[in-house]
């Protein structure tokens, strides 16, 4: 799915979103977006000193940034200790306007390629949510291929203490007192294979248990093999359920298999669970649109991307392309939270014009990222610059939902339903809070609308997430410095 590129590829995610280049990187998904060819710009030098890397990043940002009017006329890199600190200063005005929330940055080419191609990362393999008020950390998801899953660290388990050795365990409550969620994040250690931690946890049933878990390289399954695809009997109707964790290349096969299963069963009502999905490959979001486009014409628009005026030649659209597995949904319910962003929001927004009056947003307001990135590589330094360069809209021109997708649903008169995440039950379980409300909405039941206010995911210097995210989880843990590509897409991954 990922193709070799010279310098750039189109990207879209909460903090990351990579598609192929050349003809669009869509493979059989029919993506029409084309990666831009950059204008030649001289690099400061071929060395990789901090200043050279900072100046190189600045040059690319000034050429491609979607909000050039928000960049300072000049800015000396000298006071900034890292490349990303300098980038944060360059983009501070757009960030203050809620347009670029730490989503222009430099990352590793090698690490990101590994993650996007196969979901590879070094971690325990758990997704964590925290509650600062009660000083607790709970596992929201556990990846079946990771070392934590086999150690018993599964969804709903509450982590109570962390240490490098059994005699150095520190309670999570004490860590919050010492330094908030950042102290918890630091205690879990860097994203490096071989890093071990002793973890004490409270299982759903039984007494506290202590285990030693070692971080390892593994591939994250984008669709869970245990709960990710289901056909649920709800009120005598068959409802499809699909949970997509992240938009990466390996998602294509399980997505096609899921929708083929729905098509074979005659399913036309679907719950799409994006509750922790921060984005990913543009080609996968387009594929999801196609898989719900059986009744669409080849002239029907799913999404449009638009660059700054000086780069308007790079603008493109994606038209629905019916796949052999495509269905024609009569009704859709999207499960969202403050961690739902970018590519996930694009899929929901893209289906809005075509499912009028029969589409619901369930859970919490989404993050709010109707913009995407291009990737510019400087291989000599293993630097990949992710720079916000384009905006996305649906067929009706809906975009600019920087305060979350709820604003679009409200403006169009579509329905939203507030619902709690219930980590003591599996996602997709008909009794689980958000799943239950989504199923009820599809059956025609009334619900309590989501409250106003933008949901937020933690950013590089914003690990204490807003209280607008529904209790009991006020945030998804994210390292304060140098998060991995997988952690940028999936805040809370450790």
Q: Per-residue pLDDT tens for 381-435?
A: 999 999 999 999 999 999 999 999 999 999 999 999 999 999 999 999 999 999 9
CA distances in angstroms from 9 to 23, 33, 130, 201, 301, listed in the order given:
11, 10, 34, 42, 22
61 near 88, Cβ under 8 Å? no
pLDDT score at 40: 39
For residues 288 and 292, what is the distance between their CA atoms, to the nearest angstrom? 7
pLDDT band of residue 482 (cuts 50, 70, 90) is low
Pick the residue with more confidence: 308 or 22? 308
Q: Please determine, for residue 1, whether its predicted confidence score (pLDDT) is greater than 50.
A: no
List Cβ neighbours of 450 (8 Å cut-off, separation of 6 or more).
Answer: 361, 363, 364, 365, 406, 416, 417, 418
pLDDT score at 198: 98
pLDDT band of residue 114 (cuts 50, 70, 90) is confident
pLDDT band of residue 441 (cuts 50, 70, 90) is very high
* Sign of the torsion formed by the C-alpha atoms of 439, 442, 446 and 451: positive
Pick the residue with more confidence: 477 or 98? 98
pLDDT score at 343: 94
3-class secondary structure, 477: coil
Length of the chain: 494
CA distances in angstroms from 378 to 92, 106, 289, 381, listed in the order given:
24, 10, 33, 6
Sheet strands (E) in 316-428: 316-319, 331-336, 359-363, 371-378, 383-393, 415-418
8 near 268, Cβ under 8 Å? no
pLDDT band of residue 45 (cuts 50, 70, 90) is low
Q: Please determine, for residue 98, whether its predicted confidence score (pLDDT) is greater than 50.
A: yes
**Is-above-0.95 flag for pTM?**
no
305 near 391, Cβ under 8 Å? yes
DSSP code string of 11-68: EEESS------TTTS-GGG-----PPPPPP---S-SS--HHHHHHHHHHHHHHH-S-G
Q: Please determine, for residue 201, whether its predicted confidence score (pLDDT) is greater than 90.
A: yes
Query: Count of alpha carbons within 13 Å of 29, Cβ hemisphere only?
Result: 31
CA dihedral 481, 483, 489, 494 (to 10 degrees): -120
- What domains appear along the chain, each with residue ranges and CATH number? 10-118 (no CATH), 121-219 (2.30.42.10), 229-369+391-457 (3.90.226.10)
Average pLDDT, the chain: 85
Q: Please determine, for residue 489, whether its predicted confidence score (pLDDT) is greater than 80.
A: no
- What are the backbone angles phi and psi of residue 285, rounded to the nearest 5°? -65, -40
pLDDT score at 21: 26
Q: Please determine, for residue 354, whether its predicted confidence score (pLDDT) is greater than 60.
A: yes
List Cβ neighbours of 75 (8 Å cut-off, separation of 6 or more).
Answer: 58, 86, 89, 90
Find, among 355, 304, 305, 317, the residue nearest to 334 by Cα: 355
pLDDT band of residue 304 (cuts 50, 70, 90) is very high
């Amino acid at each position: 799915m990922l193709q070799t590129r010279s310098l750039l590829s189109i990207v879209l995610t909460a903090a990351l979103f990579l598609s192929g280049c050349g003809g669009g990187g869509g493979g059989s998904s029919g993506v029409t977006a084309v990666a831009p060819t950059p204008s030649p710009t001289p690099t400061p030098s071929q060395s990789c000193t901090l200043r050279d890397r900072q100046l190189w990043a600045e040059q690319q940002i000034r050429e491609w940034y979607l909000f050039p009017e928000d960049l300072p006329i000049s800015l000396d890199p000298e006071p900034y200790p890292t490349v990303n600190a300098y980038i944060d200063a360059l983009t501070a005005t757009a960030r203050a306007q809620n347009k670029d929330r730490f989503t222009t940055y430099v990352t590793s080419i090698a690490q990101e390629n590994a993650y996007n191609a196969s979901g590879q990362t070094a971690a325990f393999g758990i997704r964590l949510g925290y509650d600062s008020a009660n000083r607790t950390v709970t596992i929201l998801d556990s990846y079946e291929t990771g070392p934590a899953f086999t150690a018993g660290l599964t969804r709903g388990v509450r982590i109570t203490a962390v240490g490098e050795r059994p005699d150095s365990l520190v309670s999570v409550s004490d860590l919050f007192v010492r330094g908030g969620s950042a102290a918890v994040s630091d205690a879990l250690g860097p994203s490096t294979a071989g890093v071990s931690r002793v973890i004490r946890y409270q299982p759903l049933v039984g007494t506290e248990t202590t285990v030693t878990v070692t971080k390892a390289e593994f591939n994250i399954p984008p669709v869970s093999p245990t709960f990710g695809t289901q056909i649920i009997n709800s009120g005598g109707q068959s409802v499809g359920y699909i949970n997509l964790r992240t938009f990466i290349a390996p998602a294509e096969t399980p997505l096609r298999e899921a929708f083929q299963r729905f098509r074979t069963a005659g399913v036309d009502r679907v719950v799409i669970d994006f509750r922790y999905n921060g984005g990913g490959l543009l080609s996968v979001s387009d594929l999801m649109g196609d898989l719900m486009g059986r009744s669409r014409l080849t002239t029907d628009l799913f999404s449009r991307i638009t660059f700054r005026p000086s780069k308007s030649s790079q603008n493109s659209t994606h038209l629905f392309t019916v796949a052999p597995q495509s269905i024609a949904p009569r009704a859709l319910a999207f499960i969202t939270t403050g961690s739902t962003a970018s590519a996930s929001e694009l899929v929901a927004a893209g289906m809005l014009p075509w499912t009028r009056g029969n589409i619901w947003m369930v859970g919490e307001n989404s993050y709010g990222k109707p913009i995407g990135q291009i990737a510019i590589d400087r291989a000599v330094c293993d630097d990949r610059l992710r720079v916000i360069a384009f905006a996305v809209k649906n067929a009706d021109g809906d975009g600019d939902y920087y305060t979350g997708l709820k604003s679009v649903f409200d403006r169009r008169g579509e329905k939203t339903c507030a619902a709690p995440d219930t980590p003591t039950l599996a996602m997709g379980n008909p009794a689980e809070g958000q799943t239950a409300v989504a199923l009820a909405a599809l059956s025609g039941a009334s619900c309590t609308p989501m409250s106003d206010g933008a949901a937020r995911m933690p950013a590089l210097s914003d690990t204490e997430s807003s209280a607008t995210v529904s209790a009991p989880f006020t945030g998804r843990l994210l390292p304060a410095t140098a998060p991995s590509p997988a952690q940028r897409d999936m805040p809370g991954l450790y």
